[in-house]
Homo-oligomer: A and B are copies of this chain.
Protein backbone atom coordinates (compact mmCIF):
# COMPACT_ATOMS: atom_id res chain seq x y z
CA UNK A 1 0.00 0.00 0.00
CA UNK A 2 1.07 3.58 -0.63
CA UNK A 3 1.70 5.61 2.50
CA UNK A 4 -1.20 7.82 3.58
CA UNK A 5 -0.07 11.12 5.07
CA UNK A 6 -1.69 14.53 5.58
CA UNK A 7 -0.60 15.56 2.08
CA UNK A 8 -1.95 12.44 0.37
CA UNK A 9 -5.25 12.28 2.27
CA UNK A 10 -8.19 13.37 0.11
CA UNK A 11 -10.03 16.59 0.97
CA UNK A 12 -12.96 15.99 -1.39
CA UNK A 13 -14.39 13.03 -3.34
CA UNK A 14 -12.65 10.48 -1.11
CA UNK A 15 -14.47 7.68 -2.93
CA UNK A 16 -12.23 8.33 -5.94
CA UNK A 17 -9.00 7.85 -3.96
CA UNK A 18 -7.11 4.73 -2.99
CA UNK A 19 -3.65 3.72 -1.86
CA UNK A 20 -3.19 0.47 -3.78
CA UNK A 21 0.34 0.37 -5.19
CA UNK A 22 -0.67 -2.07 -7.93
CA UNK A 23 -3.06 0.54 -9.33
CA UNK A 24 -0.30 3.15 -9.08
CA UNK A 25 2.17 0.87 -10.91
CA UNK A 26 -0.27 0.26 -13.76
CA UNK A 27 -0.75 4.01 -14.30
CA UNK A 28 2.99 4.73 -14.13
CA UNK A 29 3.74 1.90 -16.57
CA UNK A 30 1.22 3.17 -19.11
CA UNK A 31 2.18 6.84 -18.84
CA UNK A 32 4.66 8.38 -21.27
CA UNK A 33 4.65 11.65 -19.36
CA UNK A 34 4.56 12.71 -15.73
CA UNK A 35 4.81 16.17 -14.19
CA UNK A 36 7.46 16.77 -11.53
CA UNK A 37 6.81 19.61 -9.11
CA UNK A 38 9.52 21.18 -6.99
CA UNK A 39 10.40 24.51 -5.43
CA UNK A 40 13.02 26.56 -7.27
CA UNK A 41 14.10 29.93 -5.80
CA UNK A 42 10.91 29.97 -3.74
CA UNK A 43 8.65 29.42 -6.72
CA UNK A 44 6.73 26.24 -7.58
CA UNK A 45 7.89 24.74 -10.85
CA UNK A 46 6.35 21.86 -12.81
CA UNK A 47 8.30 20.08 -15.56
CA UNK A 48 7.13 17.20 -17.78
CA UNK A 49 9.31 14.14 -18.26
CA UNK A 50 8.95 10.43 -18.95
CA UNK A 51 8.84 8.20 -15.86
CA UNK A 52 9.67 4.50 -15.89
CA UNK A 53 9.51 1.89 -13.19
CA UNK A 54 11.45 -1.14 -11.98
CA UNK A 55 9.75 -2.63 -8.91
CA UNK A 56 9.09 0.17 -6.44
CA UNK A 57 11.75 2.39 -8.03
CA UNK A 58 10.58 5.17 -10.34
CA UNK A 59 13.28 6.48 -12.67
CA UNK A 60 13.70 9.83 -14.43
CA UNK A 61 16.47 11.21 -16.57
CA UNK A 62 17.78 14.52 -17.78
CA UNK A 63 20.82 16.19 -19.21
CA UNK A 64 23.24 17.50 -16.61
CA UNK A 65 22.44 21.17 -17.13
CA UNK A 66 18.67 20.90 -16.82
CA UNK A 67 16.79 22.46 -13.92
CA UNK A 68 14.88 19.24 -13.36
CA UNK A 69 17.97 17.05 -13.12
CA UNK A 70 19.78 19.51 -10.84
CA UNK A 71 16.86 19.93 -8.48
CA UNK A 72 16.01 16.25 -8.35
CA UNK A 73 19.62 15.35 -7.64
CA UNK A 74 19.76 17.90 -4.83
CA UNK A 75 17.54 15.67 -2.71
CA UNK A 76 14.79 18.23 -2.22
CA UNK A 77 11.17 17.27 -1.74
CA UNK A 78 9.29 16.48 -4.96
CA UNK A 79 5.73 15.84 -6.02
CA UNK A 80 5.38 13.64 -9.11
CA UNK A 81 1.92 13.54 -10.68
CA UNK A 82 0.93 11.29 -13.56
CA UNK A 83 -2.46 11.54 -15.25
CA UNK A 84 -4.09 9.44 -17.95
CA UNK A 85 -7.19 10.92 -19.60
CA UNK A 86 -9.70 8.14 -20.34
CA UNK A 87 -12.77 9.96 -21.56
CA UNK A 88 -15.15 12.87 -21.55
CA UNK A 89 -18.19 12.33 -19.35
CA UNK A 90 -21.09 14.08 -21.04
CA UNK A 91 -23.99 14.58 -18.67
CA UNK A 92 -27.40 16.13 -19.35
CA UNK A 93 -26.61 19.15 -17.18
CA UNK A 94 -23.59 21.34 -17.84
CA UNK A 95 -22.74 21.04 -14.14
CA UNK A 96 -22.37 17.25 -14.10
CA UNK A 97 -19.99 17.06 -17.04
CA UNK A 98 -16.80 15.39 -15.93
CA UNK A 99 -13.75 13.48 -17.09
CA UNK A 100 -12.74 9.85 -16.73
CA UNK A 101 -9.10 9.63 -15.70
CA UNK A 102 -6.56 7.75 -13.63
CA UNK A 103 -3.89 9.64 -11.74
CA UNK A 104 -1.11 9.01 -9.23
CA UNK A 105 0.44 11.62 -6.96
CA UNK A 106 3.75 10.65 -5.34
CA UNK A 107 5.89 12.52 -2.83
CA UNK A 108 9.48 11.95 -1.86
CA UNK A 109 13.08 12.79 -2.56
CA UNK A 110 14.96 11.48 -5.55
CA UNK A 111 18.53 10.29 -5.42
CA UNK A 112 21.02 10.33 -8.25
CA UNK A 113 22.20 6.96 -9.54
CA UNK A 114 25.95 6.91 -10.17
CA UNK A 115 26.59 3.19 -10.46
CA UNK A 116 27.27 2.37 -14.12
CA UNK A 117 25.70 -1.07 -13.98
CA UNK A 118 22.47 0.25 -12.42
CA UNK A 119 22.43 3.07 -14.97
CA UNK A 120 22.80 0.65 -17.86
CA UNK A 121 20.02 -1.61 -16.53
CA UNK A 122 17.70 1.33 -15.90
CA UNK A 123 18.18 2.80 -19.40
CA UNK A 124 17.52 -0.66 -20.85
CA UNK A 125 14.22 -0.66 -18.94
CA UNK A 126 13.36 2.74 -20.45
CA UNK A 127 13.83 1.49 -24.02
CA UNK A 128 11.85 -1.64 -23.11
CA UNK A 129 9.00 0.54 -21.88
CA UNK A 130 8.90 2.73 -24.98
CA UNK A 131 8.71 -0.07 -27.56
CA UNK A 132 8.75 -3.59 -26.07
CA UNK A 133 11.05 -5.83 -28.10
CA UNK A 134 12.99 -3.00 -29.72
CA UNK A 135 16.00 -2.80 -27.40
CA UNK A 136 18.05 -5.76 -28.70
CA UNK A 137 18.03 -4.06 -32.12
CA UNK A 138 19.32 -0.60 -31.18
CA UNK A 139 22.88 0.53 -30.61
CA UNK A 140 23.40 0.32 -26.83
CA UNK A 141 24.63 3.39 -24.93
CA UNK A 142 28.39 3.81 -24.70
CA UNK A 143 30.26 5.06 -21.63
CA UNK A 144 30.25 8.67 -22.82
CA UNK A 145 26.47 8.61 -23.39
CA UNK A 146 25.80 7.02 -19.99
CA UNK A 147 27.96 9.69 -18.36
CA UNK A 148 26.15 12.48 -20.23
CA UNK A 149 22.77 11.56 -18.80
CA UNK A 150 21.77 12.10 -15.19
CA UNK A 151 19.70 9.20 -13.84
CA UNK A 152 17.45 9.86 -10.86
CA UNK A 153 15.28 7.53 -8.86
CA UNK A 154 12.40 7.96 -6.44
CA UNK A 155 11.12 5.17 -4.21
CA UNK A 156 7.37 4.74 -4.72
CA UNK A 157 6.14 5.01 -1.15
CA UNK A 158 4.11 8.06 -0.10
CA UNK A 159 1.30 8.77 -2.52
CA UNK A 160 -2.22 8.13 -3.66
CA UNK A 161 -4.21 7.09 -6.69
CA UNK A 162 -7.30 8.96 -7.82
CA UNK A 163 -9.59 7.91 -10.62
CA UNK A 164 -13.03 8.38 -12.07
CA UNK A 165 -14.52 5.85 -14.48
CA UNK A 166 -18.00 5.13 -15.78
CA UNK A 167 -21.05 6.97 -17.12
CA UNK A 168 -22.32 10.42 -16.14
CA UNK A 169 -24.21 10.79 -12.89
CA UNK A 170 -27.14 13.05 -13.62
CA UNK A 171 -29.79 14.26 -11.22
CA UNK A 172 -33.00 12.23 -11.43
CA UNK A 173 -34.80 15.40 -12.55
CA UNK A 174 -32.53 15.78 -15.56
CA UNK A 175 -32.90 12.28 -17.01
CA UNK A 176 -35.64 13.33 -19.41
CA UNK A 177 -33.66 16.29 -20.77
CA UNK A 178 -33.57 15.84 -24.58
CA UNK A 179 -29.82 15.53 -25.05
CA UNK A 180 -27.52 12.64 -25.76
CA UNK A 181 -25.50 11.60 -22.66
CA UNK A 182 -22.72 9.13 -22.10
CA UNK A 183 -18.97 8.83 -22.38
CA UNK A 184 -16.63 9.73 -25.23
CA UNK A 185 -13.74 7.31 -24.64
CA UNK A 186 -10.28 8.81 -25.20
CA UNK A 187 -6.90 7.12 -25.36
CA UNK A 188 -3.41 8.02 -26.48
CA UNK A 189 -3.29 6.06 -29.72
CA UNK A 190 -0.50 5.30 -32.17
CA UNK A 191 -0.83 5.95 -35.88
CA UNK A 192 1.29 4.12 -38.47
CA UNK A 193 5.05 4.46 -37.82
CA UNK A 194 6.79 7.02 -40.07
CA UNK A 195 10.23 5.88 -41.26
CA UNK A 196 13.01 8.45 -41.35
CA UNK A 197 15.07 9.07 -44.50
CA UNK A 198 17.81 6.55 -43.70
CA UNK A 199 15.96 3.25 -43.25
CA UNK A 200 17.09 0.78 -45.93
CA UNK A 201 14.25 -0.96 -47.76
CA UNK A 202 13.04 -4.03 -45.91
CA UNK A 203 14.57 -3.21 -42.52
CA UNK A 204 11.84 -3.73 -39.92
CA UNK A 205 13.92 -4.81 -36.89
CA UNK A 206 12.62 -2.98 -33.85
CA UNK A 207 9.76 -1.36 -35.75
CA UNK A 208 6.72 -0.81 -33.49
CA UNK A 209 3.99 -3.31 -34.15
CA UNK A 210 6.30 -5.73 -35.97
CA UNK A 211 6.79 -9.01 -34.15
CA UNK A 212 9.58 -11.51 -34.91
CA UNK A 213 7.09 -13.61 -36.92
CA UNK A 214 6.31 -10.70 -39.23
CA UNK A 215 9.91 -9.84 -40.08
CA UNK A 216 11.30 -10.74 -43.49
CA UNK A 217 13.18 -14.06 -42.99
CA UNK A 218 16.49 -12.51 -44.09
CA UNK A 219 16.41 -10.10 -41.17
CA UNK A 220 15.57 -12.51 -38.37
Contacts and interface: CB of A to CB of B under 8 A. Distances in A.
Interface of A: 6-7, 11-13, 32-33, 35-41, 43-48, 50, 63, 65-67, 77-81, 83, 85, 88, 90-95, 97, 99, 101, 103, 105, 107, 123-124, 126-127, 130-131, 134-135, 137-142, 145, 148-149, 167-168, 170, 174-175, 177-200, 203-208, 210, 219
Nearest to A39: B44
A47 B79 CA distance: 9
Contact of A196 (B38, B148, B182, B188): B182
Contacts of A148: 95
A183 B194 contact: yes
A195 B175 contact: no
Contacts of A182: 193-196, 199
Contacts of A7: 40-41, 43, 45
A196 B166 CA distance: 9
Contacts of A167: 194, 196-197
A167 to B, nearest CB: 4
7 contacts: A37-B44, A39-B39, A88-B131, A95-B148, A95-B149, A134-B179, A185-B192
B78 A44 contact: yes
B92 A138 contact: yes
A177 B198 CA distance: 10
B43 A77 contact: yes
A174 B139 contact: yes
Contacts of A81: 35, 46-48
Nearest to A62: B12
Contacts of A33: 83, 85, 99, 101
B195 A181 contact: yes
Contacts of A130: 88, 90, 97
